Amino acid sequence: MASSFDYVIVGAGTAGCVLANRLSEDPGIRVLLLEAGGSDRHPNVRIPAAFAKQFRTRLDWDFATEPEPGCSDRSLYIPRGKALGGSSSMNAMLYTRGRPLDYDAWERAGCEGWGWTDVLPYFKRSEDSFLGATEVHGTGGPVRVERLRSPRPLTRRFIESAQQAGIPFNPDYNTPEQDGASPVQVFQRGGRRWSAADAFLRPAMRRGNLTVTPRAQALGLESSDGRVTGVRYRDRRGRAQVALPTRETIVSAGSIGSPQLLLLSGYGPAEHLRELGIEVAEDLRGVGANLQDHPYCVCIWESRVPEGLADAERPGALLEFLMRRTGPLTSTVAEALAFVRSRPGLPAPDIEFHFGPAYFNDNGFDERDGHAFTLAPVLLTPRSRGTIRLRSRDPLAKPAIRGNHLTEPDDAAALVAGVELAREIASTGPLAEAAGAEIFPGASVAGADALEEDVRRRVELLYHPAGTCRMGVDDEAVVDPELRVRGTSGLRVVDASIMPLIPGGNTNAPTIMIAEKAADLILGRELPLD
């Protein structure tokens, strides 16, 4: 059975939801959006503090790396949202854009039109910020950005202690000046999650020219004479289907799913494809290469004051959330950020601290009674690069993910410096008054060598895979600056996989920006000037 549309989008994650909305704004354009997951109506999607309860459930693709040589040969967990909204329905909802120099670096690498001054209007177009309309913020867009409604008192202690430790207060880290400690800005509307499905997809689903098909597992791309002509998928009843775009196929399956689908379809390193018996459609060595993520290592202290999230699961907290959309369940767990430089001479912060007024270890699977707080340094610009490769020709098999995290010495050194600064902040000012025993790394772990060993033993990932279908103009690039896959026609990739360099911050907002700009590129229109 086959169906025909102008555009077929694979993946209803952050980018796919944006594209489905923007492309279907023209009633003359027919759009099909395929999503392997199902509904996003689960309470753990709606309740901000419950995001980690989605991990390793039917809402999660549940990926993991191969044993990592730089991380004590451990496999590192990578949750990815498997529902409408994708990972925007699962993440911690932190609205961060990254640094201007990130996007300027994209432009210097040959990605014309992707510098900071080029992408800022797209951030602003999508945004409805509590900060109001300014030179760097927008209002009236689909993406509601708010401050936390009920931050915990421990979070105020952290911001004050960071200042006493020499980290300035920054009222808005989403300006060109990123350095400093700040309360988080969040993807929320009225205290509940505001995902890409909420912001972009659900309003567009009322349009007759947009078809959204959940539980549709993409199996491969069909091509003829150098052009992608269709998407093979399995519908919710297990039947084979083919979607036939008359204009383009757009792959927005994320930094793991997009390279996997391209490889299954014959777009990738020829040697790897031939080893698996896959016919080579185009020898693209960059497919699945350039994998980046943000490693982080938690530092946790007992809290002597009951000012955190330890009581978030009590019945009264749920009632408060349901009745007033306030209270601890509106927390994103990470309630404040601090962007710092691990050593002098850096052009921008290379460490982002996440402060949580709670015990958060092992991706939330390790639970502990009592009040605690977590201060986690995150490496913003890792030098390490990894790969994604197929294990087999089976489209349902999980790919082999090798992040090579912390294999570059500078990466580990920066995280060690972050742990040392976390200890300094926790021993300063009002946070020191609240701090009890150091749980991790623990008082017995002292000295640079011991801290590095501890970091390698406990490091986790912040769920920001990026870069595996890199944009560029060189032979290793997968897509050009208009996000068209090189060597073929009728095919684009639009999601975080096209990032040449991972931005210095959480990646959901940049992914929205990418899809906003991609919609204009696809339709050949210019962004209206302010």
Query: Catalytic residues, which ones?
Result: 464
Question: Which sign, positive or negative, has the C-alpha torsion 244, 249, 250, 256?
Answer: positive
Scored b (16 or more CB within 10 A) or e, 468-477 reads bbbbbeeeeb
Scored b (16 or more CB within 10 A) or e, 90-103 reads bbbbbbbbbbbbbb
Strands 180-183 and 127-129: unpaired
* Residue 149 tokens, joined: 């409604």
DSSP letter, residue 330: G
How far is residue 365's CA from residue 373's CA, in Å, rounded to a whole number? 16
Report whether 389 contacts 272 (CB < 8 A): yes
Report whether 126 contacts 143 (CB < 8 A): yes
CA quadruple 89, 95, 100, 102: dihedral, nearest 10: -40
Beta strands in 235-291 (DSSP E): 240-251, 267-268, 282-283
Q: Residue 189 belongs to what H/E stretch?
A: strand 185-189
Question: Which sign, positive or negative, has the C-alpha torsion 259, 264, 266, 272?
Answer: positive
Q: Find out whether the peptide bond into 441 is cis, omega within 30 degrees of 0.
A: yes
Q: How many residues does the chain have?
A: 530
How far is residue 473's CA from residue 108's CA, in Å, rounded to a whole number? 11
Question: Which sign, positive or negative, has the C-alpha torsion 510, 512, 513, 517?
Answer: positive
How far is residue 389's CA from residue 18's CA, in Å, rounded to a whole number? 28
How far is residue 189's CA from residue 146's CA, in Å, rounded to a whole number? 7
Dihedrals phi, psi of 365, to nearest 5 degrees: -75, -30
How far is residue 75's CA from residue 77's CA, in Å, rounded to a whole number? 7
Task: Write the burial class of residue 446 (CB in 10 Å: 0-12 exposed, 13-18 middle, 19+ buried).
Answer: exposed
- Match 């972009």 to its residue by tokens: 200
How far is residue 67's CA from residue 75's CA, in Å, rounded to a whole number? 4
Q: Residue 222 belongs to what H/E stretch?
A: strand 217-224
Contacts of 409 (CB under 8 A, 6+ apart): none
* Residue 155 tokens, joined: 């979070």
CA quadruple 63, 64, 65, 66: dihedral, nearest 10: -110
How far is residue 486's CA from residue 239's CA, in Å, rounded to a whole number? 31
